Amino acid sequence: MKDKQELIRVVRSNMGTVSIDFTGKSPGRGAYICNNLDCLQRAIKTRGLERSFKTAVPKCIYEELLRQGSV
């Protein structure tokens, strides 16, 4: 199991908007994804966030996750 600081939290608010939660405290349904390129690409390919949130995840969220993961 990875430490929470090694993960990126993505959250779907009660209004249905999906965003990256940099604080880890935003209200709503949260999903954690590991902060490396392989995990991010696998999540995109398998549409893991869409399944977790039961809603479409905007392309800009994936683009930002890829930028965060490449650091």
CATH code for the domain of 61: 3.30.1230.10
Q: How confident is the model at residue 11 (pLDDT cuts 50, 70, 90)?
A: very high
C-alpha distance across the termini of the chain, in Å: 21
Q: What is the number of structural domains in the chain?
A: 1
- Provide the 10 A C-beta neighbour count for residue 57: 20
Residue 40 contacts residue 18 (beta carbons within 8 Å):
no
Q: Specify the pTM.
A: 0.87
Encode pLDDT of 20-67 as tens digits.
999 999 999 999 999 889 999 999 999 999 999 999 999 999 999 998
Which amino acid is located at 12 in the chain?
R
pLDDT score for 63 = 94
The boundaries of the domain holding residue 53 are 4-69
Whether the per-residue pLDDT at 71 is higher than 80: the answer is no
